[in-house]
Amino acid sequence: MDTVPEYFGSMVFNDRVMKSVLSSAVYASLKKTIDENVELDPGVANAVAEAMKDWAVSKGATHFTHWFQPLTGITAEKHDGFISPAPDGGVITEFSGKELIKGEPDASSFPSGGLRATFEARGYTAWDPTSYAFIKEKTLCIPTAFCSYGGQALDKKTPLLRSMEALNRQALRILRLFGNDTAKCVRPSVGPEQEYFLITKEMYDARPDLRFTGRTLFGARPPKGQEMDDHYFGAIKPRVAAYMEELNRELWAHGVMAKTEHNEVAPAQHELAPIYTTANVATDHNQLTMEIMQKVAARHGLVCLLHEKPFAGVNGSGKHNNWSISTNEGQNLLSPGETPYENAQFLLFLCAVIRAVDDYQDLLRISVASAGNDHRLGASEAPPAVVSMFLGDELTEILNAIENDTPYKGGKNTLLKLGVDVLPRFNRDTTDRNRTSPFAFTGNKFEFRMVGSSDSIACANIMLNSAVAESLRVFADRLEGSADFETALHDLIRQTVRAHKRILFNGNGYDEAWIREAAARGLHNYATTPDCIPHLLDEKNVAMLTSHGVFSKEELRSRCEILLENYCKTVTIEANTMIGMALTQIMPAVSRFAADTARGAAAKKALLPDVHCAYETKLVGKLSALTDLIDGAAENLQTAVAALSGAKNVFEESVMIRDFVLPGMAALRAHCDEAETLTEKSYLPFPTYGDILFSVR
Ligand code: ADP
Ligand code: MG
C-alpha cells in the first residue's frame, strides 16, 4: 500500500504537479494568477489545458467536467469526453484552453430565482484557477463559477470570490497605513469542522422519512441518550473506524487534509475537521468532503446523515466555520503580534470583526438559514438564533481598558498605549472556551458555529468577508485622512468598542436570561427562516453588498426567493411524508395492536368471567383515543398543506408554513410518538430511535 505522502493529493492537479508538467514560463504565469489575483493570460490557458488533460488521462480519466455549486446546495457537473475523432478514423484526446476556461451547461434545471428569465436563457461556467482541478471517478473536475450571460451569479462561488476580493481591497488599505508595503494580497482562511451521523443502511431503508427528507419525522426518545457521556471521545467502534480510515484515504487522495476525527456528543454522531485553507478552496473541499462521506458510507453498508437535526431531542449537527485573514506573506491578521505596532493592527482588525458582526448580525443569521437549521438554532444544544460574540475575559478586559482609558491590569497596570505597548500574551483560554457562543474568538481565528451541517459554507463566508470588508473600508476612509495616525487609531478603536460592545457576550448563550438581555440590547432574534430571509433586502444590507460588488440588487432578490422556495419545498415534502407515514404505517399498526389487545382481553374474559382486564381496557382506551387524535392531526396537516396553493407569493407561503404547517407537523408527531411508547415493539412499522442510534457497532 502506498504511503500517505505518496497518495496525498494524487488525484489533484496541484502545485507540485503543475511545477513538474508545465514549462517554467507557463507555471510562473499561472502562479501569478493564483497567488496575486492577476488576470490569466489566454495563451497560458491552452498550455495548462493540454498539460491538465495529459495528466488526467495518465491517471485513467476519460471525461472532464466543469464542477460548480448552483443554488440548490449540492454540486453539479456535466461530463464531456476528452476524446475527439481523428482524421485517420482513430481517436485523439483533446482539451483546449477554451474548454478549460469556459463551459456552457444546460442551466435551465438550476434555480435562478427569475434571473435567467430576465437576462439571458443560458448560463456559463468559468474556471476558478485558485482552486485545483481534481479527478473523481475517471472524470477531471474543474472548479468553476456559474453565471448568466448577463454576468449575474447563479452559484455560490461567484459571490464568494467577489467577497474575497472586497476583503482583499480594503484589508490592503489598512496594511499600507501600518507601513506594510510588501503584502500583495489578503485572503480569508477557513477550516470547517463537519458533524455527521452514521447509521446502517438497513435502518435508513426502513424509514421513509429518512429516505425522503434526510431526517426522522417521528420517534420517541431512546432511553439511553447523550446524557450518558460515554460516546464523546470514546473509543471509535470498529465499523466506524474502518469507515473513517477509508474516508481519510479518499479525502487525502483528493487533496483534502482531513485531520481530526472523533465522536460527537450524540450517539452515532461524529466529526471531521480538515486543516484550514483559503476560503474558496475550503468551500470546494467541504462540498467534495460531503459527497465523499456519503459515497464511502455506502461502500460500508452505512448511510451518512448530513441533516442538521436528524433526530429530535438528540444533539444536532453543525459546521463550525473557523475563519481568519492573512496576507500572502503568511501573516495572520487576527493573531496578536510581537510588536506594539502589530498589536495595534491586530486590535484594529479585531474591531473590524466586532463592528461587522454587530452591524450585520442579520446577514450572518440569514447566511445559515434553512428549514433544517431552524430545528437546531435556538434549541438548547446549539448556538441560539441570536448572534453574539465571545472574546474571552482577557481580551474583553483589554478592550474595556481602551474604551474607558483605564489602566489595564494584566501585566503592568498602566494605561495601554496603542502603537507603544505590547499586549500581554493572552493564552488561548482552555477553561472558558465558550462552547455556547455563536461566534467565538479562539486565539487567532473566529469560529462561527451557526452554520448547518448540510449547508455549503459559501454563504456564511460571503457575508463574513463582506461585512468585515465594510468595516475596514470605513476604518481606512477615516484613518487615511487623519493627521495623527496613532491618535486617530486609538480614538477609532475606542469608539468602535463603545458603539458595538452590545454584541459582546461571554456568558452562556443557551440561557433564557441571555435571550431577554439580548432583546434589551437590541440584538436581533430571528427564530426561523421566514423571519430572517426577507431582511436580505433591507436597505442597509443591499447598500453594503452592492457597494462592495458582492451582489447586485437583482441577485439578492433572486437569492431571497430561492432561499424561501427551498424552505417551502423542504417542509412541504416533510409534511406529505408525515401524512403518508401516519396514515399508512403508524395508525394501522397502533390500531392493530389495540384490536389484538382487545381480542386478548375478550378471550381472557371468556375463560374467566370474573377477570377485569383493567390493564388491557385502559391500554385499548388510550390507543383508540390516540389513533383518533392522530387521524384528526393528520387531517389538519393535510388542510394546512392544501392551503399553501392559495399563497400569493413565496414569502406568504413561507409564513403559512411557519405558522400552520410546522405546528401541524409537531401536533401530529406528538400523538404518534406517544402511541409509539405504548405499542408493543413488534407492531411498530419502522425502527425506533434506539434501534437507529445504536445500529452501528
Ligand atoms: P478546535 O479546538 O475548535 O477543534 P482545532 O485546532 O482542532 O480547534 O481547529 C479546528 C479547525 O480550525 C480546523 O479545521 C483548523 O484547521 C481550523 N483552524 C485552525 N487555525 C485556523 C486559522 N488560523 N484560520 C482558520 N482556520 C483555522
Ligand atoms: Mg471547534
Decide which of 523, 551, 579 is a domain's last residue: 551
Q: Are residues 571 and 523 in the same domain?
A: no
Q: Are residues 546 and 571 in the same domain?
A: no
Whole-number Å distance, alpha carbon 204 to ligand 1 midpoint, is: 32
Per-residue pLDDT for 224 more than 70?
A: no
Q: Residue 451 to residues 51, 318, 356, 383: CA-CA distances in angstroms?
A: 38, 6, 17, 10
Whole-number Å distance, alpha carbon 23 to ligand 2 midpoint, is: 42
Which atom of ligand 1 is nearest to 442's Cα? 3
Task: Tally Cβ neighbours within 10 Å of residue 482.
Answer: 14
The size of the chain, in residues, is 697
DSSP assignment of 568-592: HHHHHHHHHHHHHHIIIIIHHHHHH
Q: Are residues 374 and 459 in the same domain?
A: yes
Whole-number Å distance, alpha carbon 439 to ligand 1 midpoint, is: 14
What is the pLDDT, as a whole number, of residue 431? 42
Q: Between 172 and 75, whose confidence is greater? A: 172
CB 341 within 8 A of CB 350: no
**Spatial distance between the Cα atoms of 226 and 691, rounded to a whole number of angstroms:** 15
Nearest CA to ligand 1 atom 5: 273
Instruction: State pLDDT tens for residues 535-576.
Output: 999 999 999 999 999 999 999 999 999 999 999 999 999 999
**664: enclosing H helix or E strand:** helix 662-678
Domain membership of residue 559 (yes or no) is no
Note the ligand closest to the C-alpha atom of 322: 1
Q: Are residues 92 and 164 in the same domain?
A: no
**Spatial distance between the Cα atoms of 125 and 331, rounded to a whole number of angstroms:** 33
Q: Are residues 363 and 487 in the same domain?
A: yes
Query: Among 264-268, 347-351, 380-384, where is mean pLDDT lowest?
Result: 380-384
Query: Among 62-66, 255-259, 415-419, 602-606, where is mean pLDDT lowest?
Result: 415-419
Q: Are residues 239 and 341 in the same domain?
A: no
Q: Are residues 170 and 133 in the same domain?
A: no
Per-residue pLDDT for 86 more than 80?
A: no
Our count of domains for the chain comes to 4
Whole-number Å distance, alpha carbon 431 to ligand 1 midpoint, is: 17
Residues near ion ligand 2 (Cβ under 5 Å): 320
Beta carbons within 8 Å of 195's beta carbon, 6+ residues apart: 264, 269, 270, 271, 317, 318, 319, 453
> For the chain, first and last CA: distance in Å?
27
pTM of the prediction? Answer: 0.93
Decide which of 282, 317, 352 is a domain's last residue: 317
Which atom of ligand 1 is nearest to 191's Cα? 14
Domain membership of residue 443 (yes or no) is yes
Q: Which three cell numbers stand for residue 73?
A: 446546495
CB 441 within 8 A of CB 391: yes
Decide which of 291, 317, 343 is a domain's last residue: 317
Per-residue pLDDT for 596 more than 90?
A: yes
Which atom of ligand 1 is nearest to 275's Cα? 16
Range of the domain at 487: 156-189+328-551
Note the ligand closest to the C-alpha atom of 428: 1
**527: enclosing H helix or E strand:** none
Q: Are residues 128 and 161 in the same domain?
A: no
**685: enclosing H helix or E strand:** none
Which atom of ligand 1 is nearest to 193's Cα? 14
Share of the chain above pLDDT 90, in %: 69
Q: Which three cell numbers stand for residue 114?
A: 427569475
Mean pLDDT across 302-329 = 95
Whole-number Å distance, alpha carbon 428 to ligand 1 midpoint, is: 12
Q: Are residues 576 and 676 in the same domain?
A: yes
Q: Are residues 505 and 573 in the same domain?
A: no
In this structure, the residues whose C-beta lies within 6 A of any atom of ligand 1 are 189-191, 193, 260, 273-276, 322-324, 332, 444-445
Beta carbons within 8 Å of 494's beta carbon, 6+ residues apart: 402, 403, 405
Mean pLDDT across 421-437 = 61
DSSP assignment of 556-567: HHHHHHHHHHHH
Q: Are residues 264 and 379 in the same domain?
A: no
Q: What is the mean pLDDT of the chain?
A: 90
With CA atoms as reference, report the closest residue to 449 among 308, 597, 619, 603: 308
Whole-number Å distance, alpha carbon 446 to ligand 2 midpoint, is: 10
**Spatial distance between the Cα atoms of 320 and 382, rounded to a whole number of angstroms:** 11
Domain membership of residue 354 (yes or no) is yes
CATH code, domain with 281: 3.30.590.10
